[in-house]
Amino acid sequence: MYQPEQVLVPVDFSSFSRCAVAFARQLGAIQLVHAVGEMSASMREVLFPYAALGEDDRELEAEVVEIARRKLEDYFEIDDDLRECFAGEPVLEFGAAKERFPRWAGRFDADLIALGAFGESGVYSAGLGSTSRRIVSAASKPVALIRDYDPQVKVESILVVVDLGRESRKVLDVAMGLCAALGAELEVLHVIPSPFLDDTNWMVERGLAIDVEALESELRLRAEALMEELVGSVEIPMAMQEQIDEAMQGWSIRFGDPAEEIGASVGERGVDLVVAGRGGAKRVGRVTSALMADVARHLVVVPA
Protein backbone atom coordinates (compact mmCIF):
# COMPACT_ATOMS: atom_id res chain seq x y z
CA MET A 1 0.00 0.00 0.00
CA TYR A 2 1.11 3.52 -0.74
CA GLN A 3 3.08 5.09 2.13
CA PRO A 4 4.42 8.64 1.61
CA GLU A 5 7.85 8.84 3.24
CA GLN A 6 9.27 11.91 1.50
CA VAL A 7 7.32 14.94 0.25
CA LEU A 8 8.66 17.48 -2.22
CA VAL A 9 7.25 20.95 -1.46
CA PRO A 10 7.81 23.76 -4.00
CA VAL A 11 7.16 26.98 -2.10
CA ASP A 12 6.80 30.70 -2.63
CA PHE A 13 5.83 33.46 -0.20
CA SER A 14 2.09 32.79 -0.21
CA SER A 15 -0.32 31.58 2.46
CA PHE A 16 -1.03 28.60 0.20
CA SER A 17 2.61 27.50 0.49
CA ARG A 18 2.47 27.79 4.26
CA CYS A 19 -0.50 25.44 4.26
CA ALA A 20 1.27 23.06 1.89
CA VAL A 21 4.17 22.81 4.35
CA ALA A 22 1.76 22.21 7.23
CA PHE A 23 0.07 19.43 5.23
CA ALA A 24 3.34 17.81 4.13
CA ARG A 25 4.89 17.60 7.59
CA GLN A 26 2.00 15.34 8.68
CA LEU A 27 3.04 12.74 6.11
CA GLY A 28 6.81 12.32 6.04
CA ALA A 29 10.17 13.98 5.59
CA ILE A 30 9.79 17.19 3.58
CA GLN A 31 12.09 18.76 1.02
CA LEU A 32 11.49 22.45 0.43
CA VAL A 33 12.45 23.92 -2.95
CA HIS A 34 12.11 27.53 -4.04
CA ALA A 35 12.61 29.27 -7.38
CA VAL A 36 14.34 32.63 -7.08
CA GLY A 37 13.23 35.00 -9.83
CA GLU A 38 16.01 35.89 -12.24
CA MET A 39 16.94 39.52 -12.86
CA SER A 40 16.08 41.02 -16.21
CA ALA A 41 18.87 42.05 -18.58
CA SER A 42 18.06 45.74 -18.00
CA MET A 43 18.35 45.32 -14.23
CA ARG A 44 21.73 43.65 -14.61
CA GLU A 45 22.87 46.51 -16.85
CA VAL A 46 21.90 49.05 -14.20
CA LEU A 47 23.85 47.15 -11.55
CA PHE A 48 26.88 46.50 -13.77
CA PRO A 49 26.96 49.29 -16.38
CA TYR A 50 30.66 49.16 -17.16
CA ALA A 51 31.75 45.55 -16.71
CA ALA A 52 30.91 42.23 -18.27
CA LEU A 53 29.11 40.03 -15.78
CA GLY A 54 31.57 37.39 -14.68
CA GLU A 55 32.63 36.86 -11.09
CA ASP A 56 30.52 39.85 -10.00
CA ASP A 57 27.45 38.22 -11.49
CA ARG A 58 28.00 34.97 -9.62
CA GLU A 59 28.69 36.78 -6.37
CA LEU A 60 25.52 38.80 -6.78
CA GLU A 61 23.43 35.69 -7.47
CA ALA A 62 24.91 33.98 -4.40
CA GLU A 63 24.01 37.02 -2.30
CA VAL A 64 20.46 37.10 -3.69
CA VAL A 65 20.01 33.39 -2.92
CA GLU A 66 21.27 33.90 0.63
CA ILE A 67 18.84 36.78 1.19
CA ALA A 68 15.99 34.65 -0.22
CA ARG A 69 17.00 31.81 2.10
CA ARG A 70 16.78 34.07 5.15
CA LYS A 71 13.39 35.37 4.00
CA LEU A 72 12.23 31.78 3.53
CA GLU A 73 13.32 30.82 7.02
CA ASP A 74 11.51 33.83 8.49
CA TYR A 75 8.33 33.41 6.46
CA PHE A 76 7.93 29.70 7.21
CA GLU A 77 9.17 30.12 10.78
CA ILE A 78 11.76 27.40 10.32
CA ASP A 79 12.78 26.32 13.80
CA ASP A 80 14.31 23.18 15.28
CA ASP A 81 10.92 21.40 15.34
CA LEU A 82 10.34 22.00 11.63
CA ARG A 83 13.94 21.13 10.75
CA GLU A 84 13.40 17.71 12.30
CA CYS A 85 10.88 17.09 9.50
CA PHE A 86 13.35 18.05 6.74
CA ALA A 87 14.79 15.45 4.39
CA GLY A 88 17.50 18.03 3.61
CA GLU A 89 18.16 21.74 3.66
CA PRO A 90 15.86 23.90 1.48
CA VAL A 91 17.08 24.18 -2.10
CA LEU A 92 16.92 27.58 -3.82
CA GLU A 93 17.62 27.96 -7.54
CA PHE A 94 17.25 30.76 -10.07
CA GLY A 95 14.42 30.44 -12.58
CA ALA A 96 10.66 29.93 -12.74
CA ALA A 97 9.20 27.14 -10.59
CA LYS A 98 7.41 25.50 -13.53
CA GLU A 99 10.73 25.39 -15.41
CA ARG A 100 12.78 24.16 -12.43
CA PHE A 101 10.28 21.48 -11.47
CA PRO A 102 11.55 18.71 -13.81
CA ARG A 103 15.03 19.14 -12.31
CA TRP A 104 13.69 18.99 -8.76
CA ALA A 105 11.53 15.96 -9.53
CA GLY A 106 14.53 14.11 -10.93
CA ARG A 107 16.84 15.10 -8.10
CA PHE A 108 14.58 14.16 -5.19
CA ASP A 109 12.97 10.74 -4.93
CA ALA A 110 9.74 12.02 -3.38
CA ASP A 111 6.58 9.95 -2.96
CA LEU A 112 4.33 13.00 -3.08
CA ILE A 113 4.51 16.59 -4.30
CA ALA A 114 2.62 19.11 -2.15
CA LEU A 115 2.16 22.71 -3.21
CA GLY A 116 -0.25 25.57 -2.89
CA ALA A 117 -3.15 25.55 -5.31
CA PHE A 118 -2.27 29.20 -5.99
CA GLY A 119 0.82 31.33 -5.60
CA GLU A 120 1.65 34.85 -4.52
CA SER A 121 -0.71 36.32 -7.14
CA GLY A 122 -3.69 34.89 -5.28
CA VAL A 123 -6.80 33.07 -6.44
CA TYR A 124 -7.63 32.87 -10.14
CA SER A 125 -11.13 32.48 -11.53
CA ALA A 126 -9.86 29.47 -13.49
CA GLY A 127 -9.57 27.63 -10.18
CA LEU A 128 -5.83 26.91 -10.19
CA GLY A 129 -2.59 28.81 -10.65
CA SER A 130 -0.65 28.27 -13.89
CA THR A 131 2.42 26.85 -12.15
CA SER A 132 0.33 24.37 -10.16
CA ARG A 133 -1.52 23.27 -13.28
CA ARG A 134 1.70 22.67 -15.20
CA ILE A 135 3.21 20.66 -12.35
CA VAL A 136 0.08 18.50 -12.12
CA SER A 137 0.29 17.78 -15.86
CA ALA A 138 4.00 16.89 -15.80
CA ALA A 139 4.39 15.03 -12.49
CA SER A 140 5.04 11.30 -12.33
CA LYS A 141 4.06 11.20 -8.63
CA PRO A 142 0.83 12.19 -6.88
CA VAL A 143 0.40 15.95 -6.47
CA ALA A 144 -1.42 17.51 -3.52
CA LEU A 145 -2.94 20.93 -4.27
CA ILE A 146 -3.48 22.66 -0.95
CA ARG A 147 -5.83 25.56 -0.26
CA ASP A 148 -5.28 28.12 2.51
CA TYR A 149 -8.46 27.70 4.55
CA ASP A 150 -6.71 26.59 7.73
CA PRO A 151 -3.00 27.11 8.50
CA GLN A 152 -2.96 23.75 10.29
CA VAL A 153 -4.62 21.83 7.39
CA LYS A 154 -6.70 19.30 9.28
CA VAL A 155 -7.86 16.44 7.07
CA GLU A 156 -10.52 14.33 8.75
CA SER A 157 -12.48 13.11 5.74
CA ILE A 158 -11.24 11.92 2.34
CA LEU A 159 -13.30 11.18 -0.77
CA VAL A 160 -11.58 9.11 -3.44
CA VAL A 161 -13.09 9.24 -6.91
CA VAL A 162 -12.60 6.24 -9.21
CA ASP A 163 -13.72 5.59 -12.77
CA LEU A 164 -13.35 1.80 -12.31
CA GLY A 165 -10.77 1.74 -15.11
CA ARG A 166 -7.30 0.23 -15.02
CA GLU A 167 -5.80 3.10 -12.99
CA SER A 168 -8.45 2.99 -10.27
CA ARG A 169 -6.51 0.57 -8.08
CA LYS A 170 -3.53 2.96 -8.02
CA VAL A 171 -5.79 5.90 -7.13
CA LEU A 172 -7.47 3.95 -4.33
CA ASP A 173 -4.10 2.72 -3.06
CA VAL A 174 -2.86 6.33 -2.76
CA ALA A 175 -6.07 7.38 -1.00
CA MET A 176 -5.79 4.54 1.52
CA GLY A 177 -2.17 5.44 2.22
CA LEU A 178 -3.09 9.08 2.85
CA CYS A 179 -6.02 7.98 4.98
CA ALA A 180 -3.70 5.92 7.19
CA ALA A 181 -1.04 8.66 7.41
CA LEU A 182 -3.54 11.41 8.27
CA GLY A 183 -5.87 9.36 10.46
CA ALA A 184 -8.82 10.33 8.28
CA GLU A 185 -12.05 8.63 7.26
CA LEU A 186 -12.33 7.42 3.67
CA GLU A 187 -15.20 7.00 1.24
CA VAL A 188 -15.05 5.74 -2.35
CA LEU A 189 -17.21 7.23 -5.10
CA HIS A 190 -17.91 6.25 -8.69
CA VAL A 191 -20.12 8.27 -11.01
CA ILE A 192 -21.73 6.56 -13.99
CA PRO A 193 -21.69 9.12 -16.82
CA SER A 194 -25.10 9.95 -18.23
CA PRO A 195 -25.53 8.93 -21.90
CA PHE A 196 -26.76 12.49 -22.50
CA LEU A 197 -23.64 14.11 -21.03
CA ASP A 198 -22.26 15.33 -24.37
CA ASP A 199 -25.63 15.48 -26.11
CA THR A 200 -25.59 19.27 -26.28
CA ASN A 201 -28.08 19.40 -29.18
CA TRP A 202 -30.38 16.71 -27.73
CA MET A 203 -29.77 14.52 -30.78
CA VAL A 204 -29.46 11.32 -28.74
CA GLU A 205 -32.27 12.12 -26.35
CA ARG A 206 -34.68 13.04 -29.16
CA GLY A 207 -33.53 10.55 -31.76
CA LEU A 208 -33.14 7.34 -29.77
CA ALA A 209 -35.64 5.62 -27.55
CA ILE A 210 -33.50 5.06 -24.45
CA ASP A 211 -34.98 3.74 -21.24
CA VAL A 212 -32.75 5.74 -18.91
CA GLU A 213 -33.96 4.03 -15.73
CA ALA A 214 -33.33 0.55 -17.15
CA LEU A 215 -29.93 1.60 -18.47
CA GLU A 216 -28.96 3.13 -15.14
CA SER A 217 -30.07 0.02 -13.27
CA GLU A 218 -28.01 -2.26 -15.51
CA LEU A 219 -24.93 -0.05 -15.35
CA ARG A 220 -25.27 0.27 -11.59
CA LEU A 221 -25.24 -3.52 -11.16
CA ARG A 222 -22.05 -3.76 -13.23
CA ALA A 223 -20.46 -0.89 -11.35
CA GLU A 224 -21.29 -2.42 -7.97
CA ALA A 225 -19.56 -5.66 -8.94
CA LEU A 226 -16.49 -3.80 -10.17
CA MET A 227 -16.43 -1.62 -7.04
CA GLU A 228 -16.51 -4.66 -4.76
CA GLU A 229 -13.62 -6.16 -6.72
CA LEU A 230 -11.64 -2.92 -6.65
CA VAL A 231 -11.97 -2.29 -2.91
CA GLY A 232 -10.84 -5.82 -2.17
CA SER A 233 -7.87 -5.66 -4.53
CA VAL A 234 -5.66 -3.22 -2.59
CA GLU A 235 -2.94 -5.01 -0.63
CA ILE A 236 -3.04 -3.64 2.91
CA PRO A 237 -0.25 -4.49 5.38
CA MET A 238 -1.56 -6.60 8.24
CA ALA A 239 -0.42 -4.00 10.78
CA MET A 240 -2.64 -1.39 9.09
CA GLN A 241 -5.66 -3.55 8.27
CA GLU A 242 -7.65 -2.66 11.38
CA GLN A 243 -7.03 1.07 10.93
CA ILE A 244 -8.16 0.97 7.29
CA ASP A 245 -11.23 -1.09 8.16
CA GLU A 246 -12.26 1.48 10.77
CA ALA A 247 -11.55 4.40 8.43
CA MET A 248 -13.54 3.01 5.48
CA GLN A 249 -16.99 4.58 5.36
CA GLY A 250 -18.10 2.45 2.43
CA TRP A 251 -18.60 3.31 -1.22
CA SER A 252 -21.33 4.86 -3.30
CA ILE A 253 -22.38 5.08 -6.94
CA ARG A 254 -24.06 8.06 -8.55
CA PHE A 255 -25.40 8.71 -12.04
CA GLY A 256 -25.04 11.88 -14.11
CA ASP A 257 -22.31 14.38 -14.97
CA PRO A 258 -19.23 13.11 -13.04
CA ALA A 259 -17.86 16.58 -12.24
CA GLU A 260 -21.23 17.85 -10.99
CA GLU A 261 -22.00 14.71 -9.00
CA ILE A 262 -18.57 14.69 -7.36
CA GLY A 263 -18.96 18.34 -6.42
CA ALA A 264 -22.39 17.63 -4.94
CA SER A 265 -21.04 14.66 -2.99
CA VAL A 266 -18.18 16.74 -1.59
CA GLY A 267 -20.64 19.37 -0.36
CA GLU A 268 -23.04 16.85 1.15
CA ARG A 269 -20.34 14.99 3.06
CA GLY A 270 -18.22 17.93 4.16
CA VAL A 271 -15.13 16.33 2.67
CA ASP A 272 -11.71 17.89 3.43
CA LEU A 273 -9.64 16.20 0.72
CA VAL A 274 -10.48 14.69 -2.67
CA VAL A 275 -8.28 12.11 -4.38
CA ALA A 276 -8.71 11.56 -8.14
CA GLY A 277 -6.80 10.21 -11.13
CA ARG A 278 -5.26 12.68 -13.54
CA GLY A 279 -7.17 11.23 -16.47
CA GLY A 280 -4.33 11.22 -19.02
CA ALA A 281 -0.67 10.36 -19.48
CA LYS A 282 0.55 13.92 -20.14
CA ARG A 283 -2.55 15.99 -19.57
CA VAL A 284 -5.35 16.53 -17.09
CA GLY A 285 -8.65 14.93 -18.07
CA ARG A 286 -11.98 16.75 -18.26
CA VAL A 287 -13.37 15.59 -14.92
CA THR A 288 -10.20 16.23 -12.90
CA SER A 289 -9.75 19.58 -14.62
CA ALA A 290 -13.28 20.50 -13.54
CA LEU A 291 -12.51 19.42 -9.97
CA MET A 292 -9.39 21.59 -9.95
CA ALA A 293 -11.44 24.57 -11.13
CA ASP A 294 -14.73 24.18 -9.31
CA VAL A 295 -14.33 22.09 -6.14
CA ALA A 296 -12.88 24.25 -3.39
CA ARG A 297 -11.18 21.48 -1.43
CA HIS A 298 -7.68 20.13 -1.05
CA LEU A 299 -7.10 17.82 -4.01
CA VAL A 300 -4.60 15.03 -4.66
CA VAL A 301 -4.15 14.18 -8.34
CA VAL A 302 -2.70 10.75 -9.09
CA PRO A 303 -0.88 10.32 -12.43
CA ALA A 304 -1.70 7.45 -14.76
On whether the CB atoms of residues 31 and 106 are closer than 8 A, the answer is no
pLDDT of residue 176: 97
Question: Same structural domain for residues 133 and 13?
Answer: yes
Question: Same structural domain for residues 98 and 172?
Answer: no
Q: Domain with 196 in it: what CATH number?
A: 3.40.50.620
Greater confidence (243 vs 61) lies with 243
Mode of pairing for the β-strands spanning 112-116 and 143-146: parallel
Which amino acid is located at 27 in the chain?
Answer: L
**What is this structure's pTM?**
0.89
* Gap between the Cα atoms of 263 and 149, Å rounded: 18
Number of domains present in the structure of the chain: 2
Q: Write down which residue in 153, 184, 213 finishes a domain.
A: 153
Greater confidence (168 vs 44) lies with 168
Please, which pLDDT band fits residue 169 given cuts at 50, 70 and 90?
A: very high
- For residue range 70-110, list pLDDT tens digits in order: 999 999 999 999 999 999 999 999 888 888 888 998 899 89
DSSP class per residue in 21-88: HHHHTTTSEEEEEEEEPPPPHHHHHHHSSSS-SSHHHHHHHHHHHHHHHHHHHHHTT--HHHHTTBSS
Cβ atoms within 10 Å of 300's Cβ, excluding its own? 22
- For residue range 17-35, list pLDDT tens digits in order: 999 999 999 999 999 999 9
Q: Which of 117-121, 165-169, 253-257 has the lowest mean pLDDT?
A: 117-121
User: Which residues span the domain enclosing 84?
Assistant: 1-153
Question: Same structural domain for residues 90 and 229?
Answer: no
Centroid of chain to Cα 297: 10
Mean pLDDT of 224-245: 94
Question: Same structural domain for residues 138 and 219?
Answer: no
